[in-house]
């Protein structure tokens, strides 16, 4: 599915099951909450924190999908075409950083 198709599917889901979009501030709070859930999983799976009993059923792919869903909601309700925004962002990063990371000795293989 393309990003544009994902934006349409989320919009259809909201209109069919969600009644309406939450306001932008509520969606921002939800986005932060979902990113926190991703952080919790990564800190336990790849970091040094230990798992709690309640962490045993967590699923990183599901939590990342939650982040994407809310991000798409915010884009939809603010009129942003994420495909276009990402393309422009990649152009900006390429023009600005086309040598920066390549020349960074910290990123070179040891």
Residue 48: give the domain boundaries: 3-81
Q: What is the pLDDT of residues 66-75, one digit of tens each?
A: 999 999 999 9
Task: List b or e across 22-55, with b for residues whose CB sees 16 or more CB atoms inside 10 angstroms.
Answer: beeeebeebbeebbebbebbeeeeeeeeeeeeee
The answer to the question of residue 39 being in a domain is yes
The answer to the question of residue 86 being in a domain is no
Q: What is the pLDDT of residues 5-48, one digit of tens each?
A: 999 999 999 999 999 999 999 999 999 999 999 999 999 999 99
The answer to the question of residue 92 being in a domain is no
Number of folded domains that form the chain: 1
Q: What is the C-alpha separation between 48 and 31, in angstroms, rounded? A: 24
The answer to the question of residue 91 being in a domain is no
The answer to the question of residue 88 being in a domain is no
CATH number at residue 33: 1.10.287.1080
The answer to the question of residue 74 being in a domain is yes
């Amino acid at each position: 599915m393309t990003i544009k198709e994902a934006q349409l599917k989320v919009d259809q889901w909201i209109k069919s099951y969600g009644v309406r979009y939450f306001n932008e501030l509520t969606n921002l709070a939800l986005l932060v909450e979902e990113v926190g859930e991703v952080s919790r999983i990564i800190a336990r799976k790849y970091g040094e924190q230990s798992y709690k009993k309640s962490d045993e059923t967590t699923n990183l792919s599901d939590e990342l999908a939650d982040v994407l869903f809310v991000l798409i909601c915010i884009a939809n309700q603010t009129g942003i075409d994420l495909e276009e925004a990402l393309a422009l962002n990649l152009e900006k990063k390429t023009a600005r950083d086309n040598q920066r990371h390549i020349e960074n000795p910290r990123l070179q293989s040891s």
